[in-house]
């Protein structure tokens, strides 16, 4: 499958079964999605930075709540979480999407370290898409703690400061420092299969698609 970061919490995941877009972001964020096509769209919270479904071309199925779903060849589990460190900024739904025998966790705008019950609901995660820039979502230290809890094989940070993002977020470097890493190369996109996943947790920073 191929994973491309479209900005903020929005990714396009192209797999044999389906194309999934997560948390489509509106233009007020500074990002411009164009008109990506998808079979399935996941929405984590009721915020224009995460729910601009009208920006997606075609006639995608939309998931915007918790539960278990089988749509367009994708298996999806939505788990209720919350925005804000004190959980007062509204509901968030974190998703685990299974495609090509790879389980991708997209935490949306989660603002707290997941509880043990939420970790159990999510189950095993191979690739974790995790917010790291703060605001109502996780910043560096709790994001690193969340990675340690979920133990994914590959971590892709999202929801951090870029030269386009209009939100006052932290840069990705703070999260990398928490993970014991130095800033390095950003990748345009990633192609991955179950057999090419690293054995131990690795962090890969993507550059958003301009």
pLDDT at site 179? 94
Least confident residue range of 91-100, 109-118, 184-193, 195-204: 184-193
Assess whether pLDDT exceeds 90 at residue 74: yes
Q: How confident is the model at residue 5 (pLDDT cuts 50, 70, 90)?
A: very high
Query: What's the CA gap between 140 and 60, in Å, rounded?
Result: 33
Instruction: List the domain boundaries for the chain.
Output: 2-192
Q: Kindly state the average pLDDT of the residues 42-59.
A: 92
Smallest Cα–Cα separation from 24: which of 70, 75, 62?
A: 62
Where residue 183 falls among pLDDT bands split at 50, 70, 90?
A: confident
Share of the chain above pLDDT 90, in %: 80
Asked whether residue 127 carries a pLDDT value surpassing 90, the answer given is yes
Residue 147, helix vs strand vs coil: helix
* Sheet of strand 61-63: strand arrangement: 61-63, 40-42, 19-22, 10-14, 2-7, 190-191
Residues 6+ apart with CB under 8 A from 174: 132, 139, 140
What phi and psi, each to the nearest 5 degrees, are found at residue 71?
A: -135, 130
Q: For the chain, give the mean pLDDT.
A: 94
**Confidence tier at 48 by pLDDT (50, 70, 90):** confident
The CATH label, of 3.30.70.20, 3.40.50.1000, 3.60.15.10, 3.40.50.1580, for the domain at 2-192 is 3.60.15.10
Q: What is the pTM of this model?
A: 0.96
Alpha-helical (H) ranges within the chain are: 116-122, 140-150, 172-178
pLDDT at position 159, please?
96
pLDDT of res. 28:
87
């Amino acid at each position: 499958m191929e994973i491309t970061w479209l900005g903020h919490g929005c990714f396009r995941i192209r797999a044999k079964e389906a194309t999934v877009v997560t948390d489509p972001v509106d233009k007020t964020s500074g990002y411009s999605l164009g008109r990506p096509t998808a079979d399935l769209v996941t929405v984590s919270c009721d915020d224009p930075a995460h729910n601009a479904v009208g920006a997606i071309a075609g006639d995608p199925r939309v998931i915007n709540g918790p539960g278990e779903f089988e749509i367009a060849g994708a298996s999806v589990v939505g788990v209720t979480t919350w925005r804000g460190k004190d959980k007062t900024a509204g509901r968030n739904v974190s998703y685990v999407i299974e495609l090509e025998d790879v389980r991708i966790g997209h935490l949306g705008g989660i603002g707290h370290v997941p509880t043990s019950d939420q970790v159990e609901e999510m189950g095993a995660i191979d690739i974790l898409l995790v917010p790291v820039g703060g605001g109502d979502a996780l910043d560096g230290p709790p994001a690193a703690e969340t990675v340690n809890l979920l133990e994914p094989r590959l971590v892709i940070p999202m929801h951090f400061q870029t030269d386009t993002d209009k939100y006052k977020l932290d840069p990705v470097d703070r999260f990398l420092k928490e993970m014991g890493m130095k800033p390095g190369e950003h990748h345009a996109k990633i192609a991955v299969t179950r057999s090419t996943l690293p054995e131990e947790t690795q962090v890969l920073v993507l550059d958003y698609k301009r």
